[in-house]
């Protein structure tokens, strides 16, 4: 999943959650929560920076950032509950919904074929619905731009989550421009 897929998924899930909960907030506060959901959906992948750092400093082989607790539900649930119970305004409490929609959607779509440690810390097994296409064949590519272009074309575009991503982006655009 690309950052824009994750952002769109976070937006759509938070929109649905807010429609169900129907909080007594002003329209601009709801809009602000929807914008925040984009941030929380994308921030989950920032653990990639740590995994790259680890690989370099420890000269380790491939370390998947999805094997970090930041890609497991429990730390997010604790964080969401903390925000909910520590917030002293209605907007603050519903901010927890934006985090849940953003980060929650991220873990859900990563489950399609990347794998998420749903049972962490009890198990480090990464659960996924489908095995994605092999992605190691371009690791010798020196030019980073060409590397990413090849990864996009031959790995990402062949994933099932690519189509899910397109559908989710379309749904987010309909919600946004349709002012639903
Ligand atoms: Zn991810």
DSSP E strand stretches across the chain = none
Cα–ligand 1 centroid distance for 31 (angstroms): 24
Cα–ligand 1 centroid distance for 27 (angstroms): 30
Give me the sign of the Cα torsion angle 36, 37, 38, 42: positive
Q: Where are the domains of the chain?
A: 3-178
Tell me, yes or no, if the pTM score tops 0.75: yes
| Phi/psi-derived region of residue 115, left when phi > 0, alpha when psi is between -120 and 50, beta in every other case | left
Cα–ligand 1 centroid distance for 70 (angstroms): 9
DSSP 105: H
Residue 18, pLDDT above cutoff 80:
yes
Q: What is the mean pLDDT of residues 92-113?
A: 96
Cα–ligand 1 centroid distance for 32 (angstroms): 23
Rounded CA-CA distance 180/160 in Å is 28
Cα–ligand 1 centroid distance for 33 (angstroms): 21
Integer Rg of the chain from CA: 18
Residue 26, pLDDT above cutoff 90:
yes
Q: Please, which pLDDT band fits residue 62 given cuts at 50, 70 and 90? A: low
Cα–ligand 1 centroid distance for 103 (angstroms): 9
Cα–ligand 1 centroid distance for 165 (angstroms): 13
Q: Please, which pLDDT band fits residue 59 given cuts at 50, 70 and 90? A: low
Rounded CA-CA distance 124/72 in Å is 9
Q: What is the mean pLDDT of residues 9-24?
A: 96
Residue 61, pLDDT above cutoff 70:
no
Cα–ligand 1 centroid distance for 24 (angstroms): 32
Residue 73, pLDDT above cutoff 80:
yes
Residue 180, pLDDT above cutoff 90:
no
**pLDDT at residue 57, rounded to an integer:** 64
Rounded CA-CA distance 161/158 in Å is 8
Rounded CA-CA distance 102/18 in Å is 12
């Amino acid at each position: 999943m690309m950052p824009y897929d994750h952002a769109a998924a976070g937006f759509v899930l938070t929109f649905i959650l807010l429609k169900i909960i129907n909080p007594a907030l002003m329209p601009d506060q709801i809009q602000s929560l929807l914008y925040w959901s984009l941030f929380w959906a994308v921030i989950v992948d920032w653990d990639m920076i740590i995994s790259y750092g680890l690989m370099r400093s420890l000269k380790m082989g491939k370390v998947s950032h999805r094997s970090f607790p930041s890609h497991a539900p429990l730390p997010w649930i604790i964080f969401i509950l903390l925000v909910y119970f520590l917030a002293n305004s209605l907007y603050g409490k519903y901010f927890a919904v934006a985090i849940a929609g953003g980060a929650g959607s991220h873990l859900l779509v990563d489950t399609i074929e990347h794998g998420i440690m749903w049972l962490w810390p009890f198990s480090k097994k990464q659960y996924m619905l489908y095995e994605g296409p092999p992605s190691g064949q371009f690791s010798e590519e020196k030019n980073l731009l060409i590397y990413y272009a090849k990864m996009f074309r031959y790995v990402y575009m062949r994933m099932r989550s690519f189509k899910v991503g397109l559908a989710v982006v379309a749904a987010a655009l309909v919600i946004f421009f349709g002012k639903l």
